[in-house]
Structure 1
Amino acid sequence: MLELEKIKLISQSYTPQELFAALVWQRQFNDFDGEEVIKDLGENPSLWASFLFSRPIFAPDKDGLSFSGMVDTLLAMANYRPMPPSSIIHFVAYPADTLYILSENQDTIVSKLLDFGKKWKADAVEVIDGTDEELGFRLQRTLRTRS
Structure 2
Amino acid sequence: MLDLSKIQSIAKSYSPQELFAALVWQRQFNQFDGQEVITDLSGRTDLWASFLFTKPIFAPDENGLSFGGMIDTLLAMANYRPMPETSIIHFVAYPGDALYILTENQDTKVSQLLDLGKKWRADSVEIIDGTNEDYSFRLKRRLRTRYSGALWDNDVEHRDAVIVCYWWD
* TM bucket, shorter chain: 0.7 to 0.9
Aligned partner letter, 2:14: Y
Please, what TM-score do these two structures have when normalized by structure 2? 0.76
Separation in 2, partners of 1:69, 1:137 = 25
Q: Which runs of 5+ in 2 are unaligned?
A: 140-169
Secondary structure of 2:124 counterpart: coil
Partner of 1:109: 109
Given the alignment of the two structures, is residue 17 of structure 1 paired with residue 20 of structure 2, yes or no? no
Q: Partner of 1:66: helix, strand, or coil?
A: helix
Alpha-carbon shift at residue 137 of structure 1 (Å): 7.7
Using the aligned pairs only, state the percent identity.
74
Task: Report the equivalent of 1:68.
Answer: 68
For the pair 1:87 / 2:84, whether they are aligned, the reply is no
Instruction: Look up the equivalent residue of 1:18 and give its one-letter code.
Output: E
Counterparts of 1:22-101 in structure 2, within 5 Å, are 22-58=22-58, 62-63=62-63, 66-101=66-101
Q: How far has the Cα of 1:64 moved from its partner?
A: 6.0
Deviations 1:127-146 (A, max 9, x none): 1103333111897xxxxxxx
Which structure carries more strand by proportion?
2
- Contact 1:27–1:33 under 8 Å retained in 2: yes
Q: What is the root-mean-square deviation of aligned Cα atoms in Å?
A: 2.0
> In the alignment, is the contact (CA less than 8 A) between 1:31 and 1:122 conserved in 2?
yes
User: How far did 1:62 drift?
Assistant: 2.7
Q: How many residues align?
A: 139
Unmatched 5+ stretches in structure 1 = 140-147
Residues of 1 paired with 2:138 and 2:82: CA distance? 38
Q: Distance in 2 between matches of 1:81 and 1:34?
A: 20
- 1:72 aligned counterpart, secondary structure: helix
After superposition, the C-alpha distances for 1:86-117 in whole angstroms (9 at most, x for unaligned) are 33221122111000000011111110000000
| Helix, strand or coil at the partner of 1:134 | coil
Compute the TM-score of the two structures, normalised by the length of structure 1: 0.87
Q: What letter corresponds to residue 79 of structure 1 in structure 2?
A: N
Q: Report deviation, 1:84.
A: 2.4
After TM superposition, give the deviation of residue 63 of structure 1 in Å: 4.8
Give the Å deviation of 1:83: 1.9
CA contact 1:26–1:34 (8 Å) conserved in 2: yes
